Structure formats: C-alpha cells, structure tokens
Amino acid sequence: MKRGQLFPVVMELLMNYPDLRDDDNALEIAVCRRYNPCFDRMTASEFVASRDRMGFPSRESIGRIRRLVQQEIDELG
C-alpha cells in the first residue's frame, strides 16, 4: 500500500476511533483489517510470513503516517 493510499485510511480511522490515536498496535490492526478482511482469520505466523507478499503496510509506515496526520490536525493528537 502506497503512502497516498495509506494516508486517508489512517486519517479516517483516527477521526472515527479516538482510542486508536495513542495505540500503534490497535491502529495497525485496524489498518490491516481495512486492507484485507481475511486478516482476522490469519494466525500471527501466517501474517508475519505473508505480510510483504500480500502487500500489508509496514508498522513503521503506519506510525509515520499517524504522526503526520496528528501534526496536520491538532485535534487528532
């Protein structure tokens, strides 16, 4: 998932789910669920093994985008 595609997803999740604003783990799960509905049926080992192949965004990218969104929109911080 490219930055241009990830940015609006992260922004929408942060706007609609305030509990995700300070929890990178919960935000990563929400993004992965949005990206692929099959995410909830995957085991942790399946997810780790297929993350790149299936095109899931990286944890670092999600956190970076969260910080950018929160810098741009103060009330999401």
Q: How sure is the predictor about 53, in pLDDT bands with cuts at 50, 70 and 90?
A: confident
d(CA 67, CA 50): 26
φ, ψ (nearest 5 deg) of residue 47: -60, -50
Mean pLDDT of 17-22: 94
Mean pLDDT of 46-75: 90
Taking CA atoms, 20 is separated from 16, 27, 39, 45, 49, in Å, by 9, 5, 18, 24, 25
For residues 10 and 69, the answer to whether their CB atoms sit within 8 Å is yes
Tokens representing 3?
Answer: 């930055």
φ, ψ (nearest 5 deg) of residue 59: -55, -40
Res 2: pLDDT: 56
